[in-house]
A = this chain, B = another copy of it.
């Protein structure tokens, strides 16, 4: 059937022999439809999450397995110049962790230490808690007012499609320990940045503050708030171990489909190989690397593109936080650094496995022939293509290059993100295929046209 389909396509092309614009539009539609029926992305994320499993960046054996998996996967899919680029990074490693209410009603708490948290002393910390209903209430507390206490922020995160609920609460996780320590607190607990109501806490990066910092599962945060509302002092015992290695070697895995006409013009896309430790990194970010890898492959199937498509599986995303519009210089590929000026556009898929609902293109590009072809191909997939450019591109994207952002529906993403629940069963193959189709259509038109995002970006708006 595949061969027959290819024949039919060839016949159609031969008959129509369209002008360049129509050619691009027709190709984008074909790539889209091929992607919707394709299972490459699903098989990639299934294989990675099953055969490698959790991929905490602090585990050298695991990250070597992940590297080897990536090199093998890209090679098997026919990518060129497949290699692992080493870089050196600092890693924090989780140790044993436990927490419980000591008084007035002894019971265990479900916690997860935040990345870069300080450990407790070996015997743990026992202290009364001070509960803040919001992060702002903690910020409003005077310096010194938390001396000897464990600060607890119990603010709940809103469920949103565009992940803005997460963005609004990230400071409570990433900066809360710093702010609590400044006010005298001996430890910091924050309600997980989660939209679920399960007893699974959600990890994440936290700026080092010299005090232990951990996430509470949402029900545990509510339990502490109820106990504190009872009026009696609530005393919590917290024991957390962790270690830091200043310089370990990790790898970005790179593969290319070389351009036939202008190989030095490079489109860089990808997702990250590492994950938090409790889940298997299916939605964060097995899905993202699978989407971009499959899209690059599908966009070039049977036809070498004019420009070069480069896929990068970044090797250390989680420990610097996420969701920010900043680059990780240590993780930039050597090629990227050397040839930053020749990077046409970058894009990272790092928001799960649900369908793309919005495609934000670099400023000024939406009226180009290529982007019109892209837009026409993806509008039937229920994608909004706004006039405004994206605010950020992804944590692994180098600053200084134009970027696209394909926003996937984040309504349920934060039910599972950074928790033990980030597992393959949360992914629907048909939804994943829609995201691949959007990316593939974009990569096809960008790689087979001379659309220039960088030059357009300056004068626009």
List chain A positions with a Cβ less than 8 A from chain B.
Answer: 46, 50-54, 62, 101, 104-108, 110, 196-200, 218-219, 222-223, 226-227, 230, 278-280, 419-421, 423-426
Question: Which residues in B have their C-beta under 8 angstroms from that of A278?
Answer: 199
Given contacts A110-B420, A199-B423, A200-B199, contact A105 B219 (CB under 8 A): no
Going nearest first, the 5 A-B pairs with the smallest beta carbon separation are A53-B107, A199-B420, A219-B423, A50-B226, A51-B105
User: Is A108's CB under 8 angstroms from B223's CB?
Assistant: no
User: Is A104's CB under 8 angstroms from B223's CB?
Assistant: no
Question: Which residues in B have their C-beta under 8 angstroms from that of A419?
Answer: 199
Question: Which residues in B have their C-beta under 8 angstroms from that of A230?
Answer: 50-51
The chain B residue with its CB closest to the CB of A278 is B199
User: Is B199's CB under 8 angstroms from A105's CB?
Assistant: no
Cα-based distance from A198 to B199 in the complex (angstroms):
9
Cα-based distance from A424 to B226 in the complex (angstroms):
11
Question: Which residues in B have their C-beta under 8 angstroms from that of A110?
Answer: 420
User: Is A54's CB under 8 angstroms from B107's CB?
Assistant: yes
Cα-based distance from A110 to B110 in the complex (angstroms):
14
Cα-based distance from A107 to B426 in the complex (angstroms):
18
- Chain A to chain B contacts (Cβ below 8 Å), 13 pairs: A50-B105, A50-B227, A52-B105, A53-B105, A53-B223, A197-B421, A197-B426, A199-B278, A199-B279, A199-B421, A219-B425, A223-B280, A223-B423
The chain B residue with its CB closest to the CB of A51 is B105
Question: A292 → chain B, closest Cβ, in Å?
Answer: 23
Question: Which residues in B have their C-beta under 8 angstroms from that of A101?
Answer: 53
The chain B residue with its CB closest to the CB of A217 is B420
Cα-based distance from A196 to B198 in the complex (angstroms):
10
Cα-based distance from A424 to B421 in the complex (angstroms):
21
Extra 17 A-B pairs, beta carbons < 8 Å, given A53-B106, A199-B419: A46-B226, A50-B105, A50-B226, A50-B230, A52-B105, A53-B101, A53-B105, A110-B420, A198-B420, A198-B421, A199-B278, A199-B279, A199-B420, A199-B423, A219-B423, A222-B424, A223-B280
Question: A134 → chain B, closest Cβ, in Å?
Answer: 19
**Number of copies of this chain that the complex holds:** 2
Cα-based distance from A370 to B200 in the complex (angstroms):
48
Question: Which residues in B have their C-beta under 8 angstroms from that of A279?
Answer: 199
Cα-based distance from A341 to B52 in the complex (angstroms):
64
The chain B residue with its CB closest to the CB of A279 is B199
Question: A53 → chain B, closest Cβ, in Å?
Answer: 3
Question: Which residues in B have their C-beta under 8 angstroms from that of A423?
Answer: 199, 219, 222-223
Contact of A219 among B106, B198, B199, B424 (CB under 8 A): B424
Cα-based distance from A198 to B419 in the complex (angstroms):
10
Cα-based distance from A53 to B108 in the complex (angstroms):
9
Cα-based distance from A46 to B46 in the complex (angstroms):
41
Question: Which residues in B have their C-beta under 8 angstroms from that of A105?
Answer: 50-53
The chain B residue with its CB closest to the CB of A229 is B50
Question: A142 → chain B, closest Cβ, in Å?
Answer: 30
Identify which of A52, A101, A223 gathers the most chain B CB atoms within 10 Å of its CB.
Answer: A223
Cα-based distance from A223 to B422 in the complex (angstroms):
13
Question: A436 → chain B, closest Cβ, in Å?
Answer: 21
Question: Which residues in B have their C-beta under 8 angstroms from that of A104?
Answer: 51
The chain B residue with its CB closest to the CB of A222 is B425
Question: A265 → chain B, closest Cβ, in Å?
Answer: 39
Question: Which residues in B have their C-beta under 8 angstroms from that of A106?
Answer: 53, 62
Question: A277 → chain B, closest Cβ, in Å?
Answer: 9
Cα-based distance from A53 to B226 in the complex (angstroms):
12
Question: Which residues in B have their C-beta under 8 angstroms from that of A107?
Answer: 53-54, 280
Cα-based distance from A62 to B101 in the complex (angstroms):
14
Question: Which residues in B have their C-beta under 8 angstroms from that of A62?
Answer: 106
